[in-house]
Structure 1
Amino acid sequence: MADRTSSSITIKAAKADVMAVIADLDAYPEWAGGVRFEVTETGDDGRARGARMSLEGGPISDTVGLAYTWDGDDGVRWELVEPGTMVSGLRGAYTLSGTGPGETEVTYELAVDVRIPMIGMIKRKGEKRIIDSALKGLKRHVER
């Protein structure tokens, strides 16, 4: 999983407010289409340490297990710990940085491996679509 795709967006909100939305895995269906979470382990800070993610719709429908590492309100990383039927590798991160008063730049990185052969360009295009959709949904949800 050497290749990864990333994109950034600026949201008119403080880092803590943006991270609160990202950390609320149960609310993802409200702003991130096609994904649901079931938190399986919670840390002392109340944030997910482990979760099962279900991808619904699109070319890939699957359920996988993820482990999370949080860096306060500066970011979160996740990695695959339980492969699914189609998804054999997954690594991602949200990184947040303050860009000014009440503004946060959010960078989303994603690398996905699937069990079916796929041309790298097509895989990256799929990752880009997932990232762009998530960032736009996050922005709409936080700024409303």
Structure 2
Amino acid sequence: MTSIELDERLVQDSYPVTELPLCQLRLMDDARFPWLVLIPRRNGISEIFELNEADQQQLWREATLVGQMLKTLTKGDKLNIASLGNVVAQLHVHVVVRRREDAAWPAPVWGHGEPEPYDLDGLAGMRDHLLARIEALKLRAPGSASTTEGV
């Protein structure tokens, strides 16, 4: 499995969940929003078009499946998938489920208020739910395991 150097802001702002075939899947540390980040294990990439065609297709597959899984799990109203990179240049894709009653609706979640970090029980519960769904989808990378880094 290809290793990757993560931007320090991604490390500080999120928790690892598991490894998918292309991406490291991380949970943003903001309990206000069901919010995952996919980070392709390709160093030196800041734009989707810099990935080869197979990796582009795999990234979209992972984003689509993870998004559908997260929306179903959290019973959200709308799924947002975005790659911004204005603050963190390293290619990463946000997968955020929105609810009409969430703190930022209908505005974007980025830069809205102060993050509300997960408590340890909330983090463990969310991670367990995500891993169970990912396992059911058979989406995890061969030989990967869940991770407890940062917990």
Q: Answer whether TM exceeds 0.5 for this pair.
A: no
Which structure has the highest strand share of the two?
A: 1
